[in-house]
C-alpha cells in the first residue's frame, strides 16, 4: 500500500517534492522520485511513497525499473502474484520477491491485457519507453483511488487530489457540487474540481506521450463473468461455492511480511472474516471499537465472538475527545467533502490498531454484494407498488398523503421508481426543502443510472447500482481512514470472483430462509459461530457530531454554516431555509445531522482546499 504520483508537466524539484510530501502519510517507509526523457520536449516524472508490505528490501522501492524498458509506480497489492509467477512466468528471472515486478513481467508478456489476470486492489502506471506511452489501471471494484488531470499542456495523476491541486488553479465543478448535495459524496468520475477526474473502477488507460492522445477502456464491469461461472443449480451449491471463494480470498490476503490483524465489529461480515481467518491462524489479533456510550457499544459482543473463535482481541477506546481529535483533521486526508461521519470512528479504530499491525482485514462489501441494507426490503415493496399503473398511483395521491405526507406522495407517484431511488442519495437523508434544485432532475443526470433500468434484474438491479455508486463511497472512507495512519486494509468479501458469482444468485439466496438479510453469508457463518450469539438488532454507531455541534463546536459550525457562506459557496441551497433548520437543530427540535454535516463538510472543504479557486 502506497501513494503514487506522476506528471508530464515541468515543475521545479521543490514543487515535485512538496507534491509527494503531501501524500507521505500513505507511505512513510520510502520516497522515490525520478524524471525520464520521453521525447525532445516531453519528460515524465514518476513519484512514489512506500508503505512496505511485501519484500521489505530496498530493491523493491519505487519507481521500479524493469528490463530498462519499463518504469512503474504502483499502489496496492496483487494478491495472486505468486500464482501468476508459477502459471505464466516460469521462464522469467526475478530480482525481487515483490508483486510490483510481477506486474511488469505480466505487462511485458500480455500488454495492457495483463490487468485481467490480477486479483487485487491496485492503481498503477507503467511508463513503456519503447512505445512511449503511459499505461495504467484501477482495480475492478475501485478499492484504490486514482485522480488525474488531462490538459493541453500534459497529464498528471496521483493517489490523492491534493498533490495535483498543489501549485495549480482549478475551477469548482458546479454539477459535482449538486451531486454531492444529493448524495453526500461526489460520484466517480467527478471530483469537486472541473478539470480533475477519477479513473473509474475497472478501467485502464493509455496516454500517448508523442500525440498526447488519451484513451480509457472498461476492462471489467459488474456483469463481467471473466471466471466463467454458471448459475448454481441449488442453494447448497451456491453456498458451497461462496464458502470456497471466501476461504481462498482470505488465504490470499493473509500473505504479508508485516504483522496482520482483523477488524471485528461483532456484526455478520467482520465475524465471518474473523471466523475464517481463525482457521488459518489463531494468533492474529482482532480489533474492535469500545464506546463510552453503551447504547451503541458492541465491544462485548465482539469479545464474545473472539472468545468462541479462540482468538485474541483488543478493544480500541473511542472516547469523545479522541474522536474529536480525528474530526479536526479528517479533511487533511480526505481531500473531498464527505457527508458520512462514520469515517471518524473508523479512523480512530485504525489508528489504535496501527500500534500493533500494518495490515488489517475487514468485512467491507458484504452489504452491497449480498443485500445487507434494509433499503432493499422497502425497495422491493416499492417495486411491487410500482407494478400498478402510473395513472392509478397518481389518482391515489390523497391516500398516500394521508398515509405518509408529502414524502410518501413523492415516493409513490413517480413514473419510475429508479428515479426515486437515485434521488434519495447514498445516505438517504433529506434537506427538508432547503434545496433549490430538482432532486429528480439531478438524480437523472448522475452516472450509472442505466444499471437501474435493467428490468430483467428487478430488485437485483438496485444492488448492481449500489456496487457502482455506494461501494465507491465506502471504498473512499476506508481507504482514507486507514491510510491516514499508514495502514493497509484488505477486504476479502470484495474479491472480484465473489462479486462475479454473487451477480448470478437469485434474490431468495440473499434474503429469506428464516435468516433475513445476507442469508447465504449468515448460513456459512452460523456453521462456525452459534446463531444466538450474533442474532441481535444492530446498534450502529452514531458519532457525537450532533452533540459537538450543539456544544463544543457550536460556534465553529454556526460560523462555517453562516448565511453568507451558504449563499456564496452553495448557491443550490436556500440560505434562509437552511438557517432556520440549522437553528432548530441547535435547539433540539430536529436531529437532521446528515444535512447539517453535509453542508458543514462542503463549506469547510472549500475553505481548506479551494477558497483561492474559481
Could you list the active site residues?
2
List, as one string, the DSSP characters of 432-467: TT-B-S-HHHHHHHSTTGGGGG-GGGTTHHHHHHHH
Residue 285 β-bridge partners = none
Q: Please, which residues have CB within 8 angstroms of residue 507's CB and are 6 or more apart in sequence?
A: 371, 380, 458, 459, 460
Whether the Cβ atoms of residue 245 and residue 497 lie closer than 8 Å to each other: yes
Cell numbers representing residue 221 in the block: 464491469
Helix residue spans in 89-134 (DSSP H): 99-110
The owner of cell 432532475 is: 441
> Phi then psi for 438, rounded to 5 degrees?
-85, 115
d(CA 119, CA 558): 47
Q: Please, which residues have CB within 8 angstroms of residue 69's CB and are 6 or more apart in sequence?
A: 108, 128, 129, 130
List b or e across 64-87, with b for residues whose CB sees 16 or more CB atoms inside 10 angstroms: bebeeebbbbbbbbbbbbeebbee
Whether the Cβ atoms of residue 301 and residue 266 lie closer than 8 Å to each other: yes
Residue 489 β-bridge partners = 360
The owner of cell 521543490 is: 14
Coil, helix or strand at residue 50: strand
List b or e across 341-357, with b for residues whose CB sees 16 or more CB atoms inside 10 angstroms: bebbbbbbbbbbbbeeb
Residue 33 β-bridge partners = 47
d(CA 32, CA 467): 34
Fill in the DSSP letter of residue 349.
H
Cell numbers representing residue 512 in the block: 429469506
Give the C-alpha distances (Å, rounded to integers) separating 47 from 5, 6, 485, 578: 5, 6, 20, 44
Amino acid at each position: 500500500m502506497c501513494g503514487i504520483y506522476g506528471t508530464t508537466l515541468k515543475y521545479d524539484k521543490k514543487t515535485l517534492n512538496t507534491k509527494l510530501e503531501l501524500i507521505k502519510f500513505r507511505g512513510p517507509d520510502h520516497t522515490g522520485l525520478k524524471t525520464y526523457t520521453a521525447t525532445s520536449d516531453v519528460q515524465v516524472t514518476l513519484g512514489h511513497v512506500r508503505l512496505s508490505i511485501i519484500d521489505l528490501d530496498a530493491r523493491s522501492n519505487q519507481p521500479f525499473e524493469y528490463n530498462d524498458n519499463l518504469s512503474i509506480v504502483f499502489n496496492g497489492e496483487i494478491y495472486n502474484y505468486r500464482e501468476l509467477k508459477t502459471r505464466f512466468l516460469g521462464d522469467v528471472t526475478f530480482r525481487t520477491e515483490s508483486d510490483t515486478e510481477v506486474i511488469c513481467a505480466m505487462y511485458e508478456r500480455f500488454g495492457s491485457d495483463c490487468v485481467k489476470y490480477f486479483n487485487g486492489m491496485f492503481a498503477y502506471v507503467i511508463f513503456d519507453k519503447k512505445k512511449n506511452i503511459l499505461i495504467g489501471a484501477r482495480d475492478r471494484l475501485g478499492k484504490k483511488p486514482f485522480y488525474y488531470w488531462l490538459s493541453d499542456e500534459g497529464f498528471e495523476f496521483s493517489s490523492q487530489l491534493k498533490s495535483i491541486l498543489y501549485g495549480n488553479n482549478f475551477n469548482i465543478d458546479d454539477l459535482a457540487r449538486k451531486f454531492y448535495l444529493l448524495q453526500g459524496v461526489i460520484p466517480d468520475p467527478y471530483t469537486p474540481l472541473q478539470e480533475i477526474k477519477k479513473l473509474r473502477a475497472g478501467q485502464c488507460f493509455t496516454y500517448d506521450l508523442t500525440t498526447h492522445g488519451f484513451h480509457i477502456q472498461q476492462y471489467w464491469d459488474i456483469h463481467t463473468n471473466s471466471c466463467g461461472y454458471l448459475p448454481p443449480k441449488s442453494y447448497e451449491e451456491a453456498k458451497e461455492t461462496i464458502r470456497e471463494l471466501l476461504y481462498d480470498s482470505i488465504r490470499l490476503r493473509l500473505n504479508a511480511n508485516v504483522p496482520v490483524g482483523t477488524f471485528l465489529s461483532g456484526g455478520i461480515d467482520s465475524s465471518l472474516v474473523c471466523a475464517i481467518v481463525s482457521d488459518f491462524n489463531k494468533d492474529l489479533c482482532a480489533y474492535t471499537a469500545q464506546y463510552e456510550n453503551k447504547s451503541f457499544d458492541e465491544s462485548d459482543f465482539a469479545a464474545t465472538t473472539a472468545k468462541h473463535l479462540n482468538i485474541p482481541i483488543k478493544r480500541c477506546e473511542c472516547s469523545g475527545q479522541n474522536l474529536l481529535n480525528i474530526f479536526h483533521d479528517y479533511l487533511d486526508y480526505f481531500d473531498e467533502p464527505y457527508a458520512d461521519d462514520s469515517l471518524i470512528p473508523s479512523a480512530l479504530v485504525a489508528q489504535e490498531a496501527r500500534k500493533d499491525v500494518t495490515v488489517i482485514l475487514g468485512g467491507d462489501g458484504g452489504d452491497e454484494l449480498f443485500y445487507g441494507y434494509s433499503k432493499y426490503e422497502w425497495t422491493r415493496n416499492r417495486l411491487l407498488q410500482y407494478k400498478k399503473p402510473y395513472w392509478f398511483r397518481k389518482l391515489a395521491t390523497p391516500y398516500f398523503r394521508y398515509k405518509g405526507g408529502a414524502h410518501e406522495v413523492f415516493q409513490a407517484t413517480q413514473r419510475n421508481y429508479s428515479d426515486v431511488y437515485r434521488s434519495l442519495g447514498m445516505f438517504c437523508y433529506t434537506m427538508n426543502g432547503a434545496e433549490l434544485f430538482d432532486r429528480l432532475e439531478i438524480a437523472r443526470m448522475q452516472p450509472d443510472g442505466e444499471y437501474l433500468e435493467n428490468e430483467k434484474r428487478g430488485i437485483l438491479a438496485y444492488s448492481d447500482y449500489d456496487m457502482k455508486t455506494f461501494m465507491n463511497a465506502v471504498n473512499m472512507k476506508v481507504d482514507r481512514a486507514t491510510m491516514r495512519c499508514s495502514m493497509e486494509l484488505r477486504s476479502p468479501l470484495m474479491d472480484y470472483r465473489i462479486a462475479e458469482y454473487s451477480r448470478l444468485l437469485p434474490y431468495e439466496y440473499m434474503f429469506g430462509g428464516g435468516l433475513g438479510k445476507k442469508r447465504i453469508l449468515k448460513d456459512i457463518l452460523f456453521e462456525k459461530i452459534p446463531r444466538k450469539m450474533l442474532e441481535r438488532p444492530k446498534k450502529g454507531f452514531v458519532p457525537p457530531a450532533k452533540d459537538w455541534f450543539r456544544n463544543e463546536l457550536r460556534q465553529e459550525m454556526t460560523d462555517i454554516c453562516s448565511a453568507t457562506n451558504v449563499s456564496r459557496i452553495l448557491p443550490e441551497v436556500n440560505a434562509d431555509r437552511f438557517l432556520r433548520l440549522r437553528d432548530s437543530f441547535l435547539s433540539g427540535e430536529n436531529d437532521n445531522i446528515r444535512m447539517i454535516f453535509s453542508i458543514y463538510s462542503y463549506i469547510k472543504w472549500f475553505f481548506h482546499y479551494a477558497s483561492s479557486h474559481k
